[in-house]
Structures are given as C-alpha cells and as structure tokens.
Structure 1
Amino acid sequence: MEKENDIKGNGLALIPFLVFIVLFIGSGIWTGDFYQMPVLVAIFAAILTALFMNRKTDFQTKLQQFTEGGGHSNIILMVVIFLLAGAFSTVAEGMGAVDSTVNLGLAVLPGQLLIVGLFLIACFISISMGTSVGTIVALAPIGVGIADQTGSALPLTLGALISGAMFGDNLSIISDTTIAAVRTQGTKMKDKFRANFLIVLPAAIVTAVIYGVLTAGASGSTQGDQSFEIIKVLPYLGVLVFAVMGINVIFVLMGGVISAGLIGLLMGDFSGMELITLIGDGFAGMQELSLLVILLGGLVELIRRNGGIDFLLEKISSRARSSRGGEFSIAGLVAAVNVSTANNTISIITAGPLAKQISSRFGIDPKRSASVLDIFSSSVQGLIPYGAQILSAASVASISPVSIVPFAFYPILLALSGILAILFRFPRSHANQK
C-alpha cells in the first residue's frame, strides 16, 4: 500500500470530479432543468471513472480506499446528524410549529413592516428548521399574499423571503450546510455559530433596513386566521438556545425530536404511530443526502490517493502567502463548485476536504474555515436563478426566477461581509494571526 508521503500532485486525478460536474451541470444546460440529472447517478459515474484510473494500483486496493473514505468516522457521524435533523424538522412541522411561528410574527406586525417582518420570520423559521427550501415552500404563499395586500412588487417580496431563508440556512445548527461545514473542518458547532454570527449580523441588519426603506410607504394588513400557540414554538427555541450553549448537537437534535413529539401528542396533533411515521419520513427525506455524503467521501479519497487534492492545493494556494490568501482560496473554491452544482451542501462536502488542507497549511482556525465555506456557498446559492431556493419561490408566484435575483439583498451583502471579514481579519482568532 502506498504511503501518504508518496502521493504526488496529479491534475489527471481530477477527471472523475470533472465527470461529475459535466454530467450534473451539462444535463441542466442541455435540458434547461438543472435538477433533471439525479445527483447520485452523476456521482456514481464519477466513482466508476476513478476506480478505473491509476493502473499502478490494483482494483481491489482502490475499492478498499473508496470504502475507507466513505466510511470515515466524520462521514458516518454527519449521516447520523442529517437523519436526526430530518426527523426533528418533520415532527416539528407535523405538530404545527411552522404555522404557529409564522402566524405569531404576522399577528404582531404593522402593515408597513410586513416585508421586513417576512424577512425576519423567514430568518427565524429557517434557523429553526435548518432548511432554506422548506422555509420558502412554507412562506411563499404568505409572501404572495403580503405583496397583494401591501402593493409591493412580487420580486421584492420574494427577495425578502429568499434573504431570510438563506440567513437561517447559513447559521442553523441543524442545517445540512452547517453540519457539513463543521464536520469537514473538525470544529465545534457552537464555535462556528459564534464566529459566523458576528460576520453575518451586519449583513442581516442592513438587509432589514433596505427592505424597510423600500417599503416605507406601503400599507396593508394580513387577513384571515392568524391563530398561534406559543407552546408549539418552544421546540424551535429550545434547539436554538441549547445549540448556542454548546450542548452536543446529537443531544440537541434528540431533545428537539422528543419535545416536538411530546407536544404534538399532548395537543392531539398526531397519534403515537403517526409520530413514528413522521420520524421515519424525516429519516427518508435525508436518505439521498446521506448516501451522497458517503459516496462523495469515497470519491474524494480516491481523488486524494491519486494526487488530485495535492494538485489542487498547489494550484489554488500557489499565490497565497498568508492565512488571508488561504481564506480567499477557500471562498473561491466553494463558490466555484456551488455555481457548478447549484447545491450549497454538495459544494461544501466537495470542497471541504481541500479547505481543511488549505487551513492546515496556513494555520487557519477550523471554525474560521467552516464559516468561510458556509458563508460563500450560501451567498452563491441565494443568487443563482437555477438554484432550488429561487426556483421554488418563482414557481409559487409564477414569475421569472431572474426577476427575484436583484432583490435578494442578503446573499449579496453576505458575500460582501465575508470578503470584509477576510480582509480585516474579523472576528479575531488566536489560531489565525498570520
């Protein structure tokens, strides 16, 4: 078996990754639907390509390398977290937590602040649910109604919704992007959250101010049933509070599932068997992502053994002379992959191992590299018109996805905040002073 120090940089080792990109993106360009090609089919074709490369290594050894990469402890733990996050989101939604939280916000907001309120509600829902797409699907009909009542343009209203959804997707401790960023960089969830929050908070505040100024003359009020039950908001609050306190994410998610389940049972929202079904549905909803993580882990290991990772390290960091340059390399890498794959989770999982090596080379704090990964992938994801977030909102409102992009202020400001944070070394870290 080859030794680690025998691995030499080899650009040809990246061919499997290019196969994945060409299949995943090429099919979207060819068909006009960037979700036409199943991602598992694309990744499996890339794996087969990798397995039949490098004739110096026998096939059985390459299979062993693949399974070692896919079965790495970080990969399996990530899968467990994904499954628990899916269960919590499904159970919480099943017992009415989303509706109660939305109605609570709408009931206390004056008409002239409805667009700002929609942004803030989307922030809270997404940081609680851990999914930007789920937040958009839940709130888009409300956003359309608010646009009708206030006279605001639909693209502006949905831009506020996209902005809030991406805020939570970037920060939530049960977001698959956050989980992927933390696990690939080997840092703690609470540390990444705190570092990330300090960077993105100014962007969120400025975003709210912009929406407030643009809709200052709007008037209107929400109509219809706005009933809510505070008790149903508690699981979301509990998950958020305990995560920030630094409780192990496994315990946080298990507690979230149990509390949401108990409240749902006590309130009569579902029976015991229905609760079990909801948990199963939550697991099932994360199965494709979990399998993708395992397969990508194996593919990245094959590419690494063939010298692809070392080659990228040499090329990407060749002009970097400090941790600042390393961070820009990580930002550019994950942004490029995200533009190609239209999926911020996939981009983080793909770029994560390389980002980890760049961080080690330049002494970048793991929580810092995790923040950079998540910030720039979320920024790109919230601005590409062929991404699931904007496509989902546009389909509900029956408008062009492109028309929403100029009003998605938060993803734009998020990228700006990330750039400024790298340039001015904010927030400071003891492990990152070069």
Structure 2
Amino acid sequence: MVEEKKPLEKKEMSLIWAITPLLVMILTMIITVVKLEQGPHIPLIVGTIIAAFVAWKHGFKWDEVEEMMYKGIKLALPAVVIIILVGLIIGAWIGGGVVATMIYFGLKIITPAFFLVTICVICMIVSLAIGSSWSTMGTIGVAGMGIGLSMGIPAAMIAGAVISGAYFGDKMSPLSDTTNLAAGLTGTDLFVHIRHMFYTTIPAAVIALVAYGLLGMKYKNSSIDQESIQQTIGVLDQSFVISPWLLLIPLAVIVLVALKVPAIPALVVGILLGFLSQIFVQGGDVASAVSALQSGYVIETGNAMVDELFNRGGLDSMMYTVSMTIVAMTFGGILEFSGMLQSIMNQILKLAKTAFSMVAATILACFTTNATCSEQYISIVVPARMFSKAYTNMGLHSKNLSRALEDGGTLTSVFIPWNTCGVFILGTLGVGAFEYAPYAILNYTVPILSIIYAAVGFSIVKISEEEKQEILNKEIAEA
C-alpha cells in the first residue's frame, strides 16, 4: 500500500525571516542585472537557495522543500503552454506574411501632420501582431526616431509615442509573454484577462493619442523624408506576398475570442492558418514552414530593420521566458507553501482592507519590484503569488488581480532607468527614462486609471460566496 503524503503545513515565521530570501534575491538581482548586465535567472536561483535554507531552518525536510518547488512550477504550467503556443504562432504569422501585411498597410498611413499619432498607432499594430514591445521598439521605433528627428520633433517626444504604442500591444496582445504570465499565474482565462484590461487600456490609449495629436500640431507644416519608409515598403513587397486577405487570419482569432473559444484552441487555429499561408500563399515548402514553427522565421533582405523584425518567432525563442518562469516559480513555490509569503502578506493586509487599497497595494508592489528587481517579468510573478489568495479572501475575481499586475508591472518597467526595459530603450532609441517619461503617456495613465477605478468601484468584479469557497477548496486540495 502506497503511503499518501501529508499536506504541507505552513509555518509561522517572523517578518525578518520571511523577507530574507526576497532581500537577498533583490540585492543579487541588482548586482547581476544592473552591474553585470546578465539575465535574472541566477539571482532567482540564489533566492531559491536562501528560501530553501530558511524553510529548512523552520523545520521543513528536504523532500518537503522539493515538493514546494514542484507545486510552484505546476502553478505556472498553464502559462508555459500558452507561451509555447505564442512562439509557434509568431513564427507561423511571420512566415505566412500576416505580420508583413499588417506592417505594410500600417506604414502606408504615415502623414507629416500627425506623425506622433501615426507612429504610436503603427507601433500599436505591430506590437499587437507580434506581442513584443522590444521587437517593435527595436525596429519600427528606430525607424520612427530617424523620421521624426528629420521633422524637427524632439527625441523624447518621439520615444514616448513609440513606447506607448509598443506597450499597448505588449499588454493587450494574446501573443505577449507578459499577458500570458499575468493570466496564467492568477488562474484567469487569457481572453477574459484581455477583455478586462480594455477598461483601463483603451481610455488610456485614447488619452495618449489625443495628447500626441495636440503635441504634434506645431510640427504639422514640417516635411518628411519618405525614402526610408518607401524602402521598407518595397522590401516587404519583394519579400512577401502582401494581401489584405491575409488580415482575415488575425481576424479569425479575434472572432474566436469574441465567441469565447478557449485560448489554446483559438491560438492553434491561428497557428494552423499561418502555417498553411506560408505554404500556399507565400510559396514556401513544408520544411521551411515547420522550421519557422520550431526555430523561427529566417530571412535576409539586406534591409537591417526588416531582417531584425522578421528573423524571430518559433518554439525555441520562447525557451528563455519558459526557463525564467520555471526558475521564478521554484522560488515562488517555496515562499508560498512554506508560509513566508503569508507572513509578508499579513503585514500588507493590515493596511489593505478594501478593493481600493488592495489594487493600489498591488500596483505599488509591482512598481517596487520593477525598481528593486530590475526585471519586468519578476514584477508580475512575485506579486501574483503574494496577492492571489488575498483577492480571493476579499471576494474579488482573479481578473482584477491579473489586470492590476499588468497595469502596475508591465507598463511601469519603462520608468526605471536600471530596469532591463529602461536599459533596452536607452540603447535602442537613444533616450533616457527620465527624458521620455513625461511622453510615455499610456504607461502612466493606465495605472492611474486602475487606481481611480478601484477607488470608485468601477469595473471591479466580485465573486459570490459559493465561487469563493470553491476556489479556496480547490487551493486546499492542491496544497
């Protein structure tokens, strides 16, 4: 007869012991990411080791610590599956000409009078198509900087418009890794999460576009050099079959979302359509289409911007995010199931007694994590585990938490000069965080709206006592 394992019993820990692994991880993160310019994986592993030591110090056996890590990883598995599918769909859509078609028609709408509005909208379109703010800024953003500067528009202003547009898609695209992380780690359906973000993101986008329209009015008589844009359009035209019919592929996914089809089947349909498009529309062979799914699309056009944008996607490209998620959740698993997070939360919850204070505390925690850990992903992963049960206990739907994580984590990362996002933008667009911050309008308007909504109760969704008890019982069963 197989002996059943006893459920893990969380220990009562002092706040000092509970925050020690976090403090060590944050210090290691600052040194590794900012000083050594390396990734966040090793600091997370160091934090995991310290967390394991603290758990052992408080009476947990090693096999129990291992179980905590495995439980943490299990919590992230839904997000990992979606992230893998995202890599496949990016490769399929690039290979199938879908992304090229969206960029082609986006570039066609540039006009001198409304350059800031136009470049922001183009970055929105591109980032929605590929789910990556960094790739959008590193390609369309770089081109936009050159074009805008030739019109006499300040670099900080152009950078702000590019960043707002790029992060709109990074936040709202079902292909975005941060969007999938926020949804997956809170147990929220991906498209339920995206629909709930409409309340804060769409009004903020409108505010940003109106502001860019007003800011750009003084440059309406400036001339624009169309050479670089026309060159890019020409390269796209030569390298892909451009057809408005290809826009039916992302439209099909949107329709499936509207019909409330679950995320995985909807994404699989998008992958299949992109795969078939690469073969039957673009004229590629099956081997190259499969290669685009596995290792990403490969193209050499001689145009640096086009090559940078389109040489990406595939399963392999998602392994960094997958590995980071797994490592982060081993750390989070120990903090969660040993009782360390509960000790920290007990202190926070003494102040967070209402939906308003809970959302405000979540956004503040995300921003603080961005500033201390210097990594956008961690600003979602750690607060997700810290606040998940608190939202349930307060009778708040998980989509309130997933939205707050993105409002406070994804978007505020750009305001920290030593955060990986701030460092990337400086190196790519040549503008520092303190310079472009006033013009990254979407990025600070969204968290402000989120806090205001929580204060007045707008779009704050609650769950019934039955739903609350069902969630708590499920958590107990999985513990």
Query: Does the pair score TM above 0.5?
Result: yes
The reply on whether 1:20 has 2:25 as its aligned counterpart is yes
Q: 1:15 to 1:100 in 2, by over 3 A?
A: same
Q: Deviations over 1:352-410 (max 9, x none)?
A: 11121120221111111111111111231132233444444433444445432232111
Shift of 1:64: 2.6
The reply on whether 1:69 has 2:76 as its aligned counterpart is no
Which has the larger displacement, 234-243 or 78-87? Answer: 234-243
Q: Measure the CA separation in 2 of the matches of 1:388 and 1:68.
A: 28
The reply on whether 1:260 has 2:274 as its aligned counterpart is yes
Shift of 1:4: 5.4
Aligned match of 1:347: 379
Q: Deviations over 1:89-140 (max 9, x none)?
A: 2332344433332221221343212220111121122223222112212312
Q: 1:403 to 1:98 in 2, by over 3 A?
A: farther
Q: 1:167 to 1:41 in 2, by over 3 A?
A: same
Aligned match of 1:243: 257
Q: Measure the CA separation in 2 of the matches of 1:432 and 1:213.
A: 45
- How much identity, in percent, do the aligned residues show? 19
Q: Measure the CA separation in 1 of the matches of 2:196 and 2:282.
A: 40
The reply on whether 1:420 has 2:478 as its aligned counterpart is no
Aligned match of 1:7: 11
Q: 1:39 to 1:430 in 2, by over 3 A?
A: closer
Q: 1:244 to 1:401 in 2, by over 3 A?
A: same
- Aligned-partner SS, 2:345: helix
Q: Measure the CA separation in 2 of the matches of 1:350 and 1:269.
A: 45
Shift of 1:209: 0.7
| 1:36-185 correspondence to structure 2 within 5 Å | 36-53=37-54, 54-55=56-57, 56-70=59-73, 72=74, 74-185=75-186
Which has the larger displacement, 132-141 or 363-372? Answer: 132-141
- Aligned-partner SS, 1:422: helix
Q: 1:116 to 1:368 in 2, by over 3 A?
A: same
| 1:164-313 correspondence to structure 2 within 5 Å | 164-218=165-219, 219-221=222-224, 222-223=226-227, 224-225=230-231, 226=233, 227=237, 228-268=242-282, 270-281=284-295, 282-313=314-345
Q: Could you tell me which of 386, 405, 415 is aligned with 1:383?
A: 415
Q: Measure the CA separation in 1 of the matches of 2:453 and 2:318.
A: 33
Q: 1:148 to 1:329 in 2, by over 3 A?
A: closer
Q: 1:303 to 1:430 in 2, by over 3 A?
A: closer
- Aligned-partner SS, 1:52: helix
- State the TM-score, normalized to the length of structure 1: 0.90
* Runs of at least 5 residues in structure 1 that lack an aligned partner in the other structure: none
The reply on whether 1:329 has 2:354 as its aligned counterpart is no
1:129–1:236: 8 Å Cα contact kept in structure 2?
Answer: no
- Aligned-partner SS, 1:256: helix
1:182–1:188: 8 Å Cα contact kept in structure 2?
Answer: yes
Q: Deviations over 1:240-275 (max 9, x none)?
A: 343343221111221222111211222336432222
Shift of 1:9: 4.0
- Aligned-partner SS, 1:370: helix
Equivalent residue letter for 2:376: N
Q: Deviations over 1:314-337 (max 9, x none)?
A: 111111222222222222222211
- Aligned-partner SS, 2:282: coil
Q: Measure the CA separation in 2 of the matches of 1:383 and 1:298.
A: 28
Q: Measure the CA separation in 2 of the matches of 1:235 and 1:261.
A: 11
Number of equivalent positions: 427
* Runs of at least 5 residues in structure 2 that lack an aligned partner in the other structure: 296-313, 466-479
Q: Deviations over 1:296-328 (max 9, x none)?
A: 222222122332111111111111222222222
Q: Deviating runs (4+, > 4 A) in structure 1?
A: 1-6
Q: Measure the CA separation in 2 of the matches of 1:288 and 1:105.
A: 30
Q: Deviations over 1:53-111 (max 9, x none)?
A: 323222233223222322x1x42221111111012123323444333322212213432
Q: Measure the CA separation in 1 of the matches of 2:419 and 2:223.
A: 31
Aligned match of 1:411: 443
1:128–1:237: 8 Å Cα contact kept in structure 2?
Answer: no
Q: Measure the CA separation in 1 of the matches of 2:330 and 2:426.
A: 36
Q: Measure the CA separation in 2 of the matches of 1:322 and 1:181.
A: 22
1:365–1:432: 8 Å Cα contact kept in structure 2?
Answer: no
Shift of 1:46: 1.8
Q: Deviations over 1:143-167 (max 9, x none)?
A: 1232144321222112111001111
Q: Measure the CA separation in 1 of the matches of 2:102 and 2:6.
A: 55
Q: Measure the CA separation in 2 of the matches of 1:398 and 1:430.
A: 44
Q: Measure the CA separation in 2 of the matches of 1:220 and 1:239.
A: 39
- State the TM-score, normalized to the length of structure 2: 0.82
1:27–1:37: 8 Å Cα contact kept in structure 2?
Answer: yes
Q: Measure the CA separation in 1 of the matches of 2:464 and 2:407.
A: 18
2:363–2:408: 8 Å Cα contact kept in structure 1?
Answer: yes
Q: 1:10 to 1:278 in 2, by over 3 A?
A: farther
Q: CA RMSD in A?
A: 2.4
2:416–2:422: 8 Å Cα contact kept in structure 1?
Answer: yes
Q: Measure the CA separation in 2 of the matches of 1:339 and 1:235.
A: 39
Equivalent residue letter for 2:397: D
- Aligned-partner SS, 2:88: helix
- Aligned-partner SS, 1:112: coil
- Aligned-partner SS, 1:381: helix
- Aligned-partner SS, 2:351: coil
Q: Measure the CA separation in 2 of the matches of 1:96 and 1:136.
A: 20
Equivalent residue letter for 2:363: A
Q: 1:393 to 1:17 in 2, by over 3 A?
A: closer
2:34–2:419: 8 Å Cα contact kept in structure 1?
Answer: no
Aligned match of 2:307: none
Q: Measure the CA separation in 1 of the matches of 2:216 and 2:177.
A: 33
Q: Measure the CA separation in 1 of the matches of 2:131 and 2:244.
A: 20
Shift of 1:29: 4.4
The reply on whether 1:374 has 2:406 as its aligned counterpart is yes
Rg: which structure is higher? 2
Q: 1:405 to 1:428 in 2, by over 3 A?
A: closer
Equivalent residue letter for 2:290: I
Shift of 1:2: 6.8
Equivalent residue letter for 2:23: L
